């Protein structure tokens, strides 16, 4: 019987020639989200709601008026408005058409007038004249959809029930790959999943400020941004990192 041949030897690996696979990129990893939160905190440590108000009712009205309107314009309208109608009871006594001339410059004034007067009547008749501090109750108030409710709960009551998703948060969350969705409700759910609850309120304030100062819609000022080295947005104007075509 012929002798059995030995099995062929596997070629030895050369020292230092072993390739390590690159760790898979995870845009919502705890480390990356933490870096984003830290960078925003460093750039905007004192960020807060830009709408001027002295109580929950004034903030609710200002937020309703801010839809499709700049905060600057709203802040020009509300001082005279609140001087003339200082309480929800004063607004509740109005007919919507009486309020229209007062808020015309904020746009969509007919719908906004109905919302503000309707909100006042609801709050006076069902909540003893006080803006409710619970999400389930607040979203029953005319004009107070989830975004508006989150603004009031977070900025006045200090309650993190959700994340405010305005145009800036919508745009920048997609640029930073914290979400791939385009609908505000789904974006909010994604953000709530990836960051600590105690950061929800500050995150929204800081992203809104960031969207006005640096991360603008067209030609963002990437060279001045502390998040530049972890941002892969497709529309960056300057980059030291790889660009991701879907980050937009």
Annotation marks residue 226 as catalytic = no
Phi/psi class of residue 214: alpha, beta or left (left: φ > 0; alpha: ψ in -120 to 50)?
alpha
Q: Which two tokens stand for residue 153?
A: 């709960």
Percent of the chain at pLDDT > 70 equals 91
Determine contact, residues 200/189, Cβ cutoff 8 Å: no
pLDDT score of 150 more than 80:
yes
pLDDT score of 4 more than 60:
no
pLDDT in tens, 94-126: 999 999 999 999 999 999 999 999 999 999 999
Annotation marks residue 147 as catalytic = yes
The catalytic residue among 71, 133, 166, 235 is 166
- Please give the pLDDT value at position 39: 98
Determine contact, residues 105/65, Cβ cutoff 8 Å: no
pLDDT in tens, 22-41: 679 999 999 999 999 999 99
**Cα separation of 44 and 172, whole Å?**
15
Entry pTM: 0.88
Percent of the chain at pLDDT > 90 equals 90
- How many other CB atoms are found less than 10 A from the CB of residue 106? 22
The catalytic residue among 112, 122, 147, 159 is 147
């Amino acid at each position: 019987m012929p002798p059995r041949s030995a099995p062929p030897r596997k070629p030895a690996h050369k020292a230092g020639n072993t390739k390590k696979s690159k760790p898979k990129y995870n845009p919502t990893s705890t480390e990356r989200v933490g870096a984003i939160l830290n960078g925003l905190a460093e750039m905007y440590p004192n960020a807060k709601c830009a709408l001027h108000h002295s109580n929950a009712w004034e903030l609710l009205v200002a937020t309703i008026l801010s839809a499709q309107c700049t905060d600057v314009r709203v802040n020009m309208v509300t001082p005279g408005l609140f001087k003339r109608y200082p309480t929800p009871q004063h607004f509740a006594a109005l007919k919507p058409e009486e309020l229209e001339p007062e808020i015309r410059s904020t746009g969509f004034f007919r719908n906004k007038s109905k919302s503000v007067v309707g909100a006042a009547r609801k709050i006076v008749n069902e909540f003893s004249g006080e803006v409710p501090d619970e999400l389930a109750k607040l979203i029953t108030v005319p004009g107070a959809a989830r975004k508006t409710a989150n603004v009031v709960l977070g900025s006045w009551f200090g309650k993190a029930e959700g994340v405010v998703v305005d145009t800036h948060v919508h745009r920048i969350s997609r640029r930073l790959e914290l979400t791939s969705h385009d609908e505000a409700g789904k974006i909010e759910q994604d953000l709530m999943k990836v960051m600590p609850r105690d950061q929800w309120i500050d995150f929204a304030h800081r992203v809104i400020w960031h969207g006005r100062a640096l991360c603008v819609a067209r030609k963002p000022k990437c060279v001045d941004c502390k998040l530049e080295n972890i941002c892969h947005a497709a529309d960056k104007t300057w980059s030291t990192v790889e660009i991701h075509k879907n980050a937009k």
